[in-house]
Amino acid sequence: MPTLGNPRNTIEILQKYDFTFQKRFGQNFLIDTHVLDKIIRAAGVTKDDCVLEIGPGIGTMTQYLAESAGHVVAVEIDAKLIPILKETLAAYDNITVLNEDILKTDIQALSEAYNGGRPVKVVANLPYYITTPIIMNLLESNVPVDNITVMVQKEVADRMQTGPGSKDYGALSLAVQYYAEPYIVANVPPNCFMPRPNVGSAVIRLTKRSEPPVQVSDPDLMFRLIRASFNQRRKTLQNGLGNAAELSFSREEIAAAIESLGLAPTVRGEALSLEQFAALAERLGENRKP
């Protein structure tokens, strides 16, 4: 089977199976071999690795992964792509294709079955409409993952790695940076895909942390504070937290906690670092201890 990084080969296989792109699955297939090489290198894939690929499409990146990895488990939601994958991946005996929804897939069980329970490396060209739920599910669920190297919308990649004070900074930045170290590997223009998306893309690598960068007694409370402070971005932190239905602190408690951190009453959530949100969660949590 010829490699699919070549656009002509991609068109041929799509025509052979009379395949139509499904907007609901956010399908944009990579057709640039340089970008594929960069993704494999960034993920650090070796023959000792089991790679979980999310959304293999017609198998373009899967072929590249199979050359470098010990085993590849490719999870594809679109049943119409399964016969195509059977053909494009027929030459490889180290690939398992599963017709499943990644958000409902038991990654722990996959790791046990194909990698002896050791952490897998995740590689994906993610559908933009569902990028955040997939990444947060991988980070929060405590599944054995070494790193996540994914193609996402450029704006989302910027959001994941930015710090306080930037317009892109928000709840996603803080959540990703709590669980992982983000690094943007490459920016990718629309002409590297078929069909072309309307936006620029970027490859980002998230290296899972063994320990969070901040210690906090109640991470759940910290993330509720973070979400509440960015839900009403233009409001002061004090008002954002005071108006949040999911928090039960009085305005006086919130004001006192903010003041105890040496912050002005007019400060906005977007000015706080992860360390400051952790400290705020500690202060407010202490108020609730019997």
pLDDT, tens digit, for every residue of 256-270?
A: 999 999 999 999 999
Q: Would you state the pLDDT for residue 77? A: 94
pLDDT at 290 over 50: no
* Between 73 and 22, the higher pLDDT residue: 73
Domains 7-208 and 219-288 equal at CATH topology level: no
Q: Give the pLDDT of residue 26.
A: 81
Do 236 and 268 contact (CB within 8 A), yes or no?
A: yes
**In the beta sheet, which residues pair with residue 50?**
71
More confident: 109 or 142:
109
Domain positions in the chain are 7-208, 219-288
Distance CA 227, CA 206 (A): 21
Q: What is the pLDDT of residue 220?
A: 94
Q: What is the mean pLDDT of the chain?
A: 93
Q: How far is CA 95 from CA 44, 68, 129, 172, 272, in A?
A: 18, 12, 27, 32, 45
Q: What is the pLDDT of residue 128?
A: 85
Q: CA 170 to CA 46: how far, in whole Å? A: 34
pLDDT of the residue at 232: 80
Mind listing the pLDDT tens digit for each residue in 39-93? Answer: 999 999 999 999 999 999 999 999 999 999 999 999 999 999 999 999 999 999 9
Is residue 104 helix, strand or coil? helix
pLDDT band at residue 1 using 50, 70 and 90 as cut-offs: low
- Which of residues 223 and 25 earns the better pLDDT score? 223
User: Is 7-208 a domain of CATH 3.40.50.150?
Assistant: yes
Q: pTM of the predicted model, to two decimals?
A: 0.92
Q: Candidates 3.40.190.170, 1.10.3720.10, 3.90.79.10, 1.10.8.100; correct CATH number of 219-288?
A: 1.10.8.100
Mean pLDDT (whole number) for 270-276: 96
Q: What percent of the chain has pLDDT over 70?
A: 98
DSSP 8-state symbol, 69: S
CA-CA distance, 184 to 202, in Å (whole number)?
7
Determine what percent of the chain falls in helix, strand and coil, rounding each to the nearest 5.
45, 15, 35
Match 């629309």 to its residue by tokens: 190
- Partnered with residue 208 across adjacent β-strands are 180
CA 31 to chain centre: 22
Instruction: Please list the alpha-helical segments (H only) found in the chain.
Output: 7-16, 33-43, 60-68, 82-88, 107-115, 131-140, 154-161, 171-179, 219-231, 237-242, 251-260, 274-288
Tens digit of pLDDT for each residue in 128-148? 889 999 999 999 988 899 999
pLDDT over 60 at 289, yes or no: no
